[in-house]
Amino acid sequence: MNPAGQLTALWRKAGLTSQRCLACDVCCRFASPTACFIPFFSRAEATECGVRSAECGVGEPEAASPQPGARPPVVPEGQWWRCPLRDATSQACTMYDRRPLDCRLYPFVLMFDETGRQVWLGADEACPFVCQQPPGGAVWQEAADEAAGLLDGPLANAIAAAPGIVSRFHDHVRPLRVLGNVTRRVCRSDLGLARLVPTCQEPLAPFFKARPTCLTGHAFPAIYLWADLLNLHWRVDADCLLVFAESDGVGFLMAPPLGTGDVTAALRAAADIMAAINGPRCGARAQEVDEALLPAFAAEGWQIGHRAQEYICDTASLVELRGRHWDGRRHDIRRFEKLHRAEWRPYTPADFPACVALLHRWQQERAAAHPDPLYRDQLAAAAFLHRRTLREAAELGLWGFVAELDAKEAGQDSTTTAATVSVVRAESGNRQSAIGNPVVAYTFGFPLADQATFADFIEVADLSYPGLAAWTFNRFCREVRDWPFLNLGPDSELPNLAAAKLACRPSRIVPTYVLNTPS
Ligand code: SF4
Ligand code: SF4
């Protein structure tokens, strides 16, 4: 019997039979489309089960992406959301014999501790069977030992290859065993590192707040939200936080040492870590280095390799749009408001499916309009960033908003608009929000460490509504007008993006650098 089959047998032996599960209604359906225990499918498992999902990297334009797996979109069912493989009538799993490891394991769960230092085997107390088990009972201990042996042994490779199966810390999961081998490979405890997980945000906040920076790239969300494409790890050296990213065996610093400690000592430690990860393949690299830290890097022999920049605007001028420069922008906004009646409101997890559908359509339209391969690659990578932002916005404390068109009211204003809206509804019904109106834009941001600047992080507006992007951006600026400055982020070396940011008349353009050491 293979290890995954042994997990099924283990539960049967412990008394958790399929009859018992069929009489229970907890599994396979979820309270929210962003619920944390939606099952994780590795790319191979998604292919095996026929799950078509850009999030899993299967059957969609991003299929060639390096994403090793994901939690696929769930399907609305009354007040609930069900796994796409759950049969709506029988409520049974349509792929029971081929279900993913995550499902075979449940009610055991793989989970990081709060700081990402260890991977635990835990038991979810949401399962009635778990609640009935005395924690020290012999049957229970035997099941935990056997599962830990499989996960830390023959299944460890699969977990390390697709670590998305390890969920963040949950206080309703009873910790049972630390998985030493999986911890070493997923957290890189062999290098003294820990995994960067969302629950790190609070304990690591003092490092992110230590220097009053206006740079987006030095903020926790801007780093963490790349976790689908990069293995992110952290450690503290010389009172500085070092955040490493690793992809295809190459490691680099996502940001310069953060904090007020000894930067020189931290840089030496960082170089040692990167040497251990990279070997002779390449030297050390650090991204998002600001000008204040260039002398410290130069003293250690690091060389400037590339210059990027972030665009900082006066928020008030973007809210008020006074003067001739903004004639076109004001015209766009007025035109949109004349033709459409839109509702602007905070984002909620129930908006997730509608926003993801909007994202996919927006991406396809952008890719069709811009054949540049660099731009298309960045679009595909950005989709992972957007989806994780949409999934975890609440947990990370992001500010998010959506624009919905009131189709009925818009129809009263303009027959043209009514026709447009009805086409949108017919083409992609899943673009509607939980209350049934089409979501046509979303935007997210967060405050930066200098307490004067707000980051305008991501924004998508349906391109078929002229003026909507300008209207959405202006509404967002109004929401954050208490912050004197708005950071529009980097231009990703894309000329059209740079032109759009320059059109916002930045009051400052702040450079950041990539620095390297010789290999
Ligand atoms: S919650 Fe527990 S008992 Fe209920 S279906 Fe899931 S594993 Fe079975
Ligand atoms: S794959 Fe099957 S067992 Fe797993 S959540 Fe979906 S329906 Fe349930």
The complex's ipTM? 0.98
Q: Closest Cα to residue 232, out of 191, 188, 276, 265?
A: 188
Give residue 247 CA to ligand 2 midpoint distance, Å: 30
Give residue 10 CA to ligand 1 midpoint distance, Å: 14
Q: Closest Cα to residue 292, out of 333, 257, 344, 253?
A: 257
Distance CA 289, CA 425 (A): 46
The domains of the chain, with CATH numbers, are 3-191 (no CATH), 195-301 (3.40.630.30), 310-513 (3.40.630.30)
Q: Judging by beta carbons within 10 Å of its beta carbon (0-12, 13-18, 19+), is residue 504 exposed, middle or buried? A: buried
What is the sign, positive or negative, of the torsion defined by CA atoms of 274, 278, 279, 281? Answer: negative
Three-state DSSP at 165 gives helix
- What is the number of the ligand 1 atom nearest to the C-alpha of 106? 7
| pLDDT on residue 426 | 28
Backbone angles phi, psi at 69, to 5 degrees: 160, 175
Q: Closest Cα to residue 472, out of 448, 499, 444?
A: 444
Using a 6 Å cutoff on CB, does residue 99 contact ligand 2? yes
Using a 6 Å cutoff on CB, does residue 27 contact ligand 2? yes
- What is the number of the ligand 1 atom nearest to the C-alpha of 26? 1
Backbone angles phi, psi at 451, to 5 degrees: 65, 10
Give residue 24 CA to ligand 1 midpoint distance, Å: 6
By DSSP bridging, strand 399-405 and strand 342-346 are: antiparallel
Question: For tokens 């950041």, what's the residue?
Answer: 512
Give residue 102 CA to ligand 2 midpoint distance, Å: 9
Q: Which of 10, 24, 91 to mutate to test the pocket of ligand 1 (most atoms within 8 A of CB)?
A: 24
Give residue 91 CA to ligand 1 midpoint distance, Å: 13
Atom 7 of ligand 1, nearest CA residue:
107
Using a 6 Å cutoff on CB, does residue 468 contact ligand 2? no
pLDDT per residue as tens, the chain (519 positions): 788 889 888 998 899 988 888 889 899 999 999 998 899 999 889 888 888 665 555 444 444 455 778 888 899 999 999 999 999 888 889 999 999 999 999 999 999 999 999 999 999 999 999 998 877 788 888 999 999 999 999 999 999 999 999 999 999 999 999 999 999 999 999 999 999 999 999 999 999 999 999 999 999 999 999 999 999 999 999 999 999 999 988 999 999 999 999 999 999 999 999 999 999 889 999 999 999 999 999 999 999 988 899 999 999 999 999 999 999 999 999 999 999 999 999 999 999 999 999 999 999 998 888 888 888 888 888 999 999 999 999 999 999 999 999 766 544 443 333 323 322 322 333 345 555 678 999 999 999 999 999 999 999 999 999 999 999 999 999 999 999 999 999 998 888 889 999 999 999 999 999 999 876
Three-state DSSP at 235 gives strand
167 neighbors 37 (Cβ within 8 angstroms): yes
Give residue 108 CA to ligand 2 midpoint distance, Å: 14
Give residue 70 CA to ligand 2 midpoint distance, Å: 14
Helix or strand (DSSP H, E) at 380: helix 373-396
Q: Do you know the residue count of the chain? A: 519
Q: Closest Cα to residue 97, out of 24, 1, 166?
A: 1
- Ligand 1: lining residues by beta carbon, under 6 Å: 20-21, 24, 26-27, 106-107, 127-129
Backbone angles phi, psi at 175, to 5 degrees: -70, 135
Distance CA 411, CA 285 (A): 55
* Token code pair at residue 446: 């967060």
Atom 1 of ligand 2, nearest CA residue:
99
Q: Which residues of 447-478 are buried (b: 16+ CB within 10 A; e: fewer)?
A: bbbbeebbbbbbbbbbeebebbbbbbbbbbbe
How does DSSP assign 436-502, residue by residue?
Answer: SSBEEEEEEEEE-TTSSEEEEEEEEE-TTSTTHHHHHHHHHHHHTTTSSEEEEEE-TT-HHHHHHHH
| pLDDT on residue 274 | 96
Atom 3 of ligand 1, nearest CA residue:
21
| pLDDT on residue 422 | 29
The ligand that comes nearest to the alpha carbon of residue 124 is 1
| pLDDT on residue 494 | 83
Give residue 137 CA to ligand 2 midpoint distance, Å: 28
The ligand that comes nearest to the alpha carbon of residue 14 is 1
Distance CA 447, CA 427 (A): 37
265 neighbors 238 (Cβ within 8 angstroms): yes
| pLDDT on residue 56 | 53
Backbone angles phi, psi at 481, to 5 degrees: -70, -15
Whether omega before 495 lies within 30 degrees of 0, making that bond cis, reads: no
C-beta neighbour count of 309 within 10 angstroms: 18
Using a 6 Å cutoff on CB, does residue 85 contact ligand 2? yes
| pLDDT on residue 250 | 94
